[in-house]
């Protein structure tokens, strides 16, 4: 009995209703698909076309397929003819292995549980190596780098971006090529991937000698970011919210008056009357083109916030509803978020929606000279996150819901490219596999102004880079709860500002308190405006510190630009774990509170209240120069770093970027 056959460059297994296929895909990679009682769909929800020629061997009960330095060995077990797949590198080291059938336990590594309508609840189970360390998977709000032992939801929420790719310390990368809502459990005994509703199994695995090689292979099959626009290298000013045209122009002129370089000024949400109008409210912005032109004269880009919600009272709601351009609810009313009214989401997965919305954006923003957009609410933020109750044009949210933020970014990327814009960047609150291709700059959501949240962002940014999203940032100072009159908050803000200097994009934002209510001429209570959030708003001493770091950011432009070029060409993260550059140093795999900004700068944020110093680990294999005083240390040791309020510990690898010495 032959269980295996070769179809073109793929190895195929068939038994008892299951068809499984392994395809050489990308550099040192294999794509694995399995369908049950149906036809296999080889289309790609995230992967780019990257089929390769591999080598295949077969006999009746065993087959292998090799692509570069990865080999899959497929063994038909005698009990029940269950198939077990094991993956090896070119040295013969075991990387990952499906569970066995367990003999009389009759387990299956690929479990398809039928659901009404023809879909399945899918569980894929692998044997776990307890010594393995796992990194990536996107952005989860936890102060943890090694994800071994973690249970993660495969779904998006405000401040959570689920990107199901990880890098293993064992020397492989793994992509769960499935957009369904689900879970992953990185247990000590098994690793379990669960899709709550799907048609088939689909994943991609690659082998690599080091994390950089794995990351570049992953970028080769999912794409890289465009080149960062020049204004992305400087400082961005934002707050919740500049509520009228006069405020925006005043802030821009004040930065110019003080001689503080500013690249982007952000006009936040509810500059419109109703969600879904997608245009300026003339009561507060009587001549937005004049505003944009004034900022351009000062060398400042205007960014505007965009929400995908459509209020029932919006001028576009009825037309979009009639044309089927909105997300549908399976049960009850189509009210998917309650915020200043009853809102339903535009369906970004629908090409007709993307075309319709871009036409509105072009008319009401782009034609005014606005080229940069802030794509908020990108998960989207369903009230209650009842994923099973909603349906996109692309399919049920339970089955394909995680693609929404990527298609949202795609709307603006393709619209801007259609107008001839080359370097596209959109600030967005969520991402999925491939979002980087559409110029997605992810920020970490509506986090709190607390030190524990600050520490979580360091982990989040590093995981996002490993998950293939090199453009990432935070609200400097946090979003919720920052009291501008509280000395403790001012200290936190300075420490966060120093961290933000060494992030892919440096942007201050927040809903500072106390806020001021806004009531329009019709007597309607609008979204409030927060307390002042400009760098001169926190006292002269703090202004001087923040001005110093803005100028350091500008002095680093050539270096930062080189990092963006590397991200564009190879998919390299801008924020890097220490092990990314120093995989041979075992200590580096356990560091979660310091990182590398590109290959040359080791950054050690001060992220505990009132701390004026900290321990810093310097990786073995390089010398490290203190950017403050020029002192040189050999790697492979812990040191004590002094950090008064105006200083963040920064160390230069082998003396590189020595222009920073004495500046920090």
Domain range summary for the chain, segments of one domain joined by +: 4-222, 234-308+349-384+392-570, 577-660
Instruction: Name the active-site residue from 202, 215, 301, 446.
Output: 446
Instruction: State residue 2's pLDDT score.
Output: 87
Candidates 245, 658, 240, 320; CA nearest to 484 is 240
Give catalytic status of residue 590 as yes or no: no
Distances (CA, A) of 266 to 237, 249, 487, 491: 6, 11, 26, 24
Question: Which H or E run includes 296?
Answer: helix 288-297
In degrees, rounded to 5, the angle at the alpha carbon of residue 470 between the alpha carbons of residues 433 and 462 is 95
Q: Are 225 and 195 contacting, i.e. CB atoms less than 8 angstroms apart? A: no
- Superfamily of domain covering 4-222: glycosyl hydrolase (family 31) (2.60.40.1760)
Residues of the chain with pLDDT under 70: none
Instruction: State residue 318's pLDDT score.
Output: 98
Whether the link from the prior residue into 241 is cis, omega within 30° of 0, is yes
Tokens found for residue 504: 């892919």
Instruction: State residue 36's pLDDT score.
Output: 96
Give catalytic status of residue 311 as yes or no: no
Instruction: State residue 160's pLDDT score.
Output: 98
Distances (CA, A) of 361 to 280, 356, 364: 11, 9, 5
Question: In a 10 Å sphere around its CB, with 0-12 CB exposed, 13-18 middle and 19+ buried, how is residue 74 labelled?
Answer: buried
**CATH code at 577-660:** 2.60.40.1180
φ and ψ at residue 189, rounded to 5 degrees = -95, -40
- Superfamily of domain covering 234-308+349-384+392-570: Glycosidases (3.20.20.80)
Distances (CA, A) of 637 to 448, 588, 615, 633: 34, 11, 10, 9
Instruction: State residue 166's pLDDT score.
Output: 99
Candidates 539, 541, 535; CA nearest to 506 is 535
Give catalytic status of residue 379 as yes or no: yes
Instruction: State residue 80's pLDDT score.
Output: 78
| DSSP character at residue 232 | G
Instruction: Name the active-site residue from 216, 263, 379, 593.
Output: 379
Q: Map tokens 């900004």 to a residue.
A: 597
Helices and strands: H and E segment counts in the chain: 12, 44
Question: Which H or E run includes 86?
Answer: strand 83-89
Separation CA 76–CA 599 (nearest Å)? 45
pTM of structure: 0.98
Would you say the CATH fold of 577-660 matches that of 4-222? yes
Instruction: State residue 79's pLDDT score.
Output: 80
Neighbours of 104 (CB within 10 A): 8
Instruction: Name the active-site residue from 376, 453, 475, 585.
Output: 376
How many residues are listed for the chain in this entry? 664
Give pLDDT tens digits for 159-212: 999 999 999 999 999 999 999 999 999 999 999 999 999 999 999 999 999 999
- For the stretch 97-101, contacts whose Cβ atoms lie closer than 8 Å and that sit 24 or more positions apart, written own/partner, are 97/126, 97/127, 98/124, 98/125, 98/126, 98/127, 99/125, 99/126, 99/127, 99/190, 101/77
Neighbours of 318 (CB within 10 A): 11
148: left (phi over 0), alpha (psi -120 to 50) or beta: beta
């Amino acid at each position: 009995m032959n269980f295996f056959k070769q179809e073109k460059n793929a190895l195929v297994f068939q038994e008892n209703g299951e068809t499984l296929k392994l395809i050489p895909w990308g550099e040192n990679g294999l794509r694995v698909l399995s369908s049950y009682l149906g036809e296999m769909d080889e289309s790609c929800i995230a992967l780019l076309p990257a089929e390769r020629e591999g080598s295949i061997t077969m006999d009746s009960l065993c087959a292998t397929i090799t692509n570069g330095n990865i080999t899959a060995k497929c063994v038909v077990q005698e009990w029940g003819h269950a198939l077990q797949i094991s993956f090896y590198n070119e040295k013969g080291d075991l990387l990952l292995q499906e569970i066995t059938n367990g003999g009389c336990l009759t387990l299956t590594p690929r479990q398809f549980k039928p659901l009404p309508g023809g879909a399945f609840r899918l569980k894929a189970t692998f044997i776990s190596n307890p010594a393995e360390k796992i990194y990536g998977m996107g952005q989860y709000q936890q102060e943890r780098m090694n994800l071994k032992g973690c249970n993660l939801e495969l779904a998006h929420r405000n401040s959570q971006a689920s990107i199901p790719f990880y890098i293993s310390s064992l020397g492989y990368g793994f992509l769960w090529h499935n957009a369904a809502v689900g879970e992953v459990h990185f247990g000590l005994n098994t690793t379990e991937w669960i899709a709550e509703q799907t048609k088939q199994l689909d994943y991609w695995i690659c082998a690599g000698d080091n994390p950089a090689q794995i990351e570049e292979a992953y970028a080769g099959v999912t794409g890289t970011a465009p080149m960062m626009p020049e204004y992305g290298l400087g400082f961005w000013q934002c707050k919740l919210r500049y509520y009228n045209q006069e405020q925006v122009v005043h802030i821009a002129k004040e930065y110019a008056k003080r001689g503080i370089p500013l690249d982007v000024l952000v006009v936040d949400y509810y500059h419109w009357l109703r969600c879904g109008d997608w245009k300026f409210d003339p009561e507060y912005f009587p001549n937005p083109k004049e505003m944009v032109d004034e900022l351009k004269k000062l060398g400042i880009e205007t960014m505007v916030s965009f929400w995908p919600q459509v209020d029932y009272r919006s001028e576009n709601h009825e037309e979009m509803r009639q044309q089927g351009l909105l997300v549908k609810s399976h049960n009850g009313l189509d009210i998917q978020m309650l915020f200043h009214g009853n809102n339903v989401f535009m369906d970004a997965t629908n090409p007709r929606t993307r075309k319709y919305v871009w036409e509105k954006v072009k008319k009401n923003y782009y034609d005014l000279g606005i080229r940069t957009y802030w794509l908020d609410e990108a998960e989207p933020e369903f009230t209650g996150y009842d994923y099973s109750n909603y349906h996109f044009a692309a399919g049920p949210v339970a089955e394909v819901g995680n693609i929404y933020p990527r298609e949202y970014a795609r709307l603006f990327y393709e619209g801007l490219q259609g107008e001839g814009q080359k370097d596209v960047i959109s600030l967005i609150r969520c991402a999925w596999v491939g979002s980087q291709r559409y110029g997605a700059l992810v920020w970490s959501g509506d986090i709190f102004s607390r030190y524990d949240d600050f520490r979580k962002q360091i982990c989040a940014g590093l995981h996002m880079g490993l998950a293939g999203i090199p453009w990432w940032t935070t609200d400097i100072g946090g979003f919720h709860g920052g009291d501008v009159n509280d000395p403790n908050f001012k200290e936190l803000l300075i420490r966060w500002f120093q961290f933000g200097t060494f992030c892919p994009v440096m942007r201050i934002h927040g809903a500072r308190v106390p806020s001021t209510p806004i009531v329009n001429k019709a007597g309607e209570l609008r979204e409030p405006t927060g307390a002042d959030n400009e760098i001169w708003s926190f006292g002269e001493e703090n202004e001087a510190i923040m001005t110093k770091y803005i100028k350091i950011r500008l002095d680093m432009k050539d270096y930062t630009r080189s990092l963006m070029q590397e991200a564009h060409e190879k998919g390299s993260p801008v924020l890097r774990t220490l092990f990314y550059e120093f995989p041979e140093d075992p200590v580096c795999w356990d560091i979660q509170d310091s990182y590398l900004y590109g290959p040359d700068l080791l950054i050690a944020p001060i992220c505990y209240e009132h701390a004026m110093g900290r321990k810093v680990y310097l990786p073995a294999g390089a010398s490290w120069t203190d950017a403050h005083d020029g002192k040189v240390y050999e790697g492979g040791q812990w040191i004590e770093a002094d950090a008064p309020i105006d200083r963040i510990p920064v160390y230069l690898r082998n003396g590189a970027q020595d222009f920073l010495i004495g500046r920090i």
